[in-house]
Chain A
Amino acid sequence: MLAYIVRRVLYAVPILIGVNLITFALFFVVNSPDDMARMQLGTKRVTPEAIEKWKAERGYDKPLLWNSAAEGVGKATRTIFFEKSVRLFALDFGAAEDNRDIAFEIRARMWPSLALALPVFLVGLAVNITFAMFMAFFRATYLDFWGVVLCVAMMSVSTLFYIIGGQFVISKLWHLVPISGYDAGFDAAKFLILPTVIGVIAGIGSGSRWYRTLFLEEMSRDYVRTARAKGLAEATVLFKHVLKNAMIPILTGVVVVIPLLFLGSLLSESFFGIPGLGSYTIDAIQAQDFAVVRAMVFIGSVLYIAGLLLTDLSYTLVDPRVRLE
């Protein structure tokens, strides 16, 4: 088991190097630091001195890959590639445009993100599976048919509309909860209820339909026929047999996103003013803060790989046939 984990972690290294190379190529090779400086400072009437100053402040004034002017090891380390890309592995993200330490910001902002993303994830999972079970139980009846129609209709509505509509009706018309904001500790609850509800509702359509297909596929298996032949009630078949066996395909899709919950949700956070990583990312994209975007890309891929590892490990828990070698 431990050997397996170690090997999987080692597998992650080439992938992270790949991610690093992609971001490096995107941010420094496709466009030179000069272009970025001009973009930030405005294209018109910008002096070469201003560009040099901008680059020097951010450490972009060094050569890309090889610094022949430096001494010894410095030839490889005093370069943009080493200082901006390799250092990401040590979780050293440098500073944002406003000179704040990115690693510090991330540590502070991941908790509000998690406070929103985790309830959405758990409640959403419960609601989707319940609804899908309901449709599977009444399969091939009009309840199932209209359930699927409802799912397709809900899938066809952009998340933006769920958020805007929910904010308008619940906060503005009915004044039930504040429109947006955040507070420390348990006071945050009143700000988190609406985004949680909206996040769950926005996910029902595609989620329930996906689980319904899973359940129906599972229900066509032989063991289900055997269970029915034994004379078990349909509800017992469904909840005792099908649900347990459907755990494996459910886990495949679910466990991989758990670590990504730290990243939060881009849309909800920025609409509801929650100071999490999602809104941090959006602000960075809109302010064209390349350092922050680079850091988030790296963290995102680290978390995704962690999710893949967790998925594999979770199989051993639910499926005794799986042994990790």
Chain B
Amino acid sequence: MPFLPVPLATDILLWFLVSAAAGYGWYCAGRPHLTAPWARVFRSKAAVASCVVLAGYLAVGLADSLHFRLRLERLDAASAEAYSPEVLSVLDLALKYLRERREKTYSAPFATRLYIKEQIELPNGKQTREFPRLRYGGAHLEDETRKLADIGRSELLGVVAALVAAAGAVYAARRLQRRRPGVPWQAAAVMLGLILAIALPVLLLSHGYHVLGTDKVGQDVLYQSLKSIRVSLVIGTVTTLVLLPLGIALGIAAGYFKARVDDAIQYLYTTLNSIPGVLLIAAFVLMLQVMIERNADLFPTAAHRADVRLLGLCAILGLTSWTGLARLLRGESLKLSQLEYIQAAHAFGVSDSRILSRHILPNVAHIVIITLALDFSGLVLAEAVLSYVGVGVDPATTSFGTMINAARLEMGRDPIVWWSLAAAFAFMCVLVLAANLFADAVRDGFDPRVRVGALPV
């Protein structure tokens, strides 16, 4: 094979979660009582629009979650097959032109010259100090003064293409509206058009320029931002794999069995809760670092090592954040277990496990779904803070946290290097905002209590 598939643990889990979500959707499809709350969610324009944005992020994240190692050229026919130690993803392959075109160091967005002056030898033998031309950024321009015209042309082309695509989307939305009313398809089409109007020109321009500039080692910031998306998604979703089983099992058990079980579980989560979050995470991560250090020879590549750290971080975040869900579920199942139908089930001699799975669990599912949606954005924001504190992802992994951390040190330069920070800010803010808006819609759709005095969004 020309490549060796490298399924990293977080890749598998991310794809597993996506297929689980798809399975859940398929399961819901034929059951009106399960689709009803989702129909309420998707009645809101904000939810539909943010769903389009999240889908865009997910597409990038999933493309970045198919890893492999390319085969190296054989030295001679007799030598064994060898694979490059560098683990790449499908996204890396698609963005090869961004990944490989490294400049020497910083350069501003759309710059044609480097950020730092260099000694340059003129053809007549003299030396001057000036900003040298970039190796790749705007290298196709013979005359730098034509830069604006060149950018404008690409921009126009991209926007026109986006408008054509958006027109198609609006037309499709019209037809869908007739077939399935109740969902604001137009909002989705407009959002899609907006994303394309930004993404297509950027894509066109990124071949000739560094659209978001380059960082200290000359790497394209746009490429880094796109790579960071995966880490955010992994942190926001894989964490639930630890959080859910713990939160659901312990929360329901405490509320349903009461007495000793309740005491024990309450003690457990009060104890965990009483340690300030960041400190507990820091303590766990410090120990994780020591463990990774001790078993360094278990990881064939640096990517595996970084991946274990990311996975460990998810597990730790899950371990420290299940208490909120457990407390909510405890209260709810305490209430449910007093209701007549549960008493009736008891009287009929239905076993505890059956009552839990048939009567309690389905009736607390809305709390679980609301909590998951609300937690996502918090986890994405937490990653940035933890990476800053030094207990986040592996320093070699590109994430919004590591980008901010690196950019922070350059704030003192003059003229200021703002583009890394701005890029991380923009990408992260859009993701979190979309997640927040979607979570709000999910809460409104699933919460049995109708919100008071809110305008229909």
Q: Which residues of A contact B (CB under 8 A)?
A: 14-15, 18-19, 22-23, 26-27, 30-31, 35-36, 38-39, 43, 139-140, 142, 144-145, 148, 152-153, 155-161, 164, 167-168, 172, 216-217, 219-220, 260, 263, 266-267, 281-282, 285-286, 288, 290, 293-294, 296-297, 300-301, 304-305
Shortest beta-carbon distance from A166 to chain B in Å: 12
Residues of chain B within 8 A of A263, CB atoms compared: 276
Check A156/B279 contact, CB under 8 A, given A26-B287, A266-B389, A267-B388.
no
21 residue pairs bridging A and B, Cβ less than 8 Å apart: A26-B283, A35-B294, A39-B290, A43-B293, A152-B436, A156-B432, A159-B385, A160-B384, A160-B385, A160-B408, A161-B421, A164-B421, A168-B416, A267-B385, A286-B389, A296-B276, A297-B283, A304-B274, A304-B275, A304-B276, A305-B274
The answer to whether A293 touches B388 (Cβ under 8 A) is no
The answer to whether A297 touches B287 (Cβ under 8 A) is no
The answer to whether A285 touches B291 (Cβ under 8 A) is no
Which secondary structure characterizes the binding site on chain A?
helix
Q: Which B residues from 18 to 72 make CB contacts under 8 A with A?
A: none
The answer to whether B452 touches A15 (Cβ under 8 A) is no
CB of B377 within 8 Å of the partner chain: yes
Expressed in whole angstroms, the Cα–Cα distance for A306 and B238 within the complex equals 34
Check A39/B289 contact, CB under 8 A, given A220-B452, A281-B279, A300-B279.
yes
The answer to whether A160 touches B404 (Cβ under 8 A) is yes
Shortest beta-carbon distance from B265 to chain A in Å: 13
Shortest beta-carbon distance from A205 to chain B in Å: 9
CB of B429 within 8 Å of the partner chain: yes
Expressed in whole angstroms, the Cα–Cα distance for A31 and B457 within the complex equals 52
CB of B361 within 8 Å of the partner chain: no
Out of A159, A219, A285, A296, which one reaches B452, CB within 8 Å? A219
The answer to whether A296 touches B279 (Cβ under 8 A) is yes
Residues of chain A within 8 A of B280, CB atoms compared: 297
**How many residues does chain B have at the interface if contact means C-beta atoms less than 8 Å apart?**
51
Shortest beta-carbon distance from A74 to chain B in Å: 29
Shortest beta-carbon distance from A121 to chain B in Å: 15
Which residue, B271, B291, B296, B404, has most C-beta atoms of chain A within 10 A? B271
Expressed in whole angstroms, the Cα–Cα distance for A167 and B408 within the complex equals 11
CB of B278 within 8 Å of the partner chain: yes
The answer to whether B436 touches A156 (Cβ under 8 A) is yes
Which residue, B272, B275, B429, has most C-beta atoms of chain A within 10 A? B275
Out of B273, B290, B296, B388, which one reaches A160, CB within 8 Å? B388
Q: Who on chain B is nearest to A36 by CB?
A: B290
A-B contacts, CB under 8 A, total: 149
Which residue, A26, A156, A282, has most C-beta atoms of chain B within 10 A? A156
Residues of chain B within 8 A of A216, CB atoms compared: 451-453
Shortest beta-carbon distance from A162 to chain B in Å: 11
Expressed in whole angstroms, the Cα–Cα distance for A35 and B267 within the complex equals 31
CB of B455 within 8 Å of the partner chain: yes
Check A301/B274 contact, CB under 8 A, given A27-B287, A158-B381.
yes
Expressed in whole angstroms, the Cα–Cα distance for A305 and B289 within the complex equals 30
Shortest beta-carbon distance from B301 to chain A in Å: 18
CB of B284 within 8 Å of the partner chain: yes
Out of A157, A267, A290, which one reaches B286, CB within 8 Å? A290
CB of B391 within 8 Å of the partner chain: yes
Q: Which B residues from 426 to 456 make CB contacts under 8 A with A?
A: 428-429, 432-433, 436-437, 440, 451-455
Shortest beta-carbon distance from B54 to chain A in Å: 13
Q: Who on chain B is nearest to A283 by CB?
A: B390
Q: Who on chain B is nearest to A31 by CB?
A: B290
The answer to whether B385 touches A39 (Cβ under 8 A) is no
Shortest beta-carbon distance from A229 to chain B in Å: 18
Expressed in whole angstroms, the Cα–Cα distance for A81 and B162 within the complex equals 65
CB of B270 within 8 Å of the partner chain: yes
Residues of chain A within 8 A of B425, CB atoms compared: 157-158, 161
The answer to whether B271 touches A19 (Cβ under 8 A) is yes
The answer to whether B377 touches A156 (Cβ under 8 A) is yes
Q: Which 10 A-B pairs have the closest CB atoms?
A: A18-B271, A139-B453, A300-B276, A156-B433, A301-B274, A156-B432, A140-B453, A304-B274, A31-B290, A216-B452
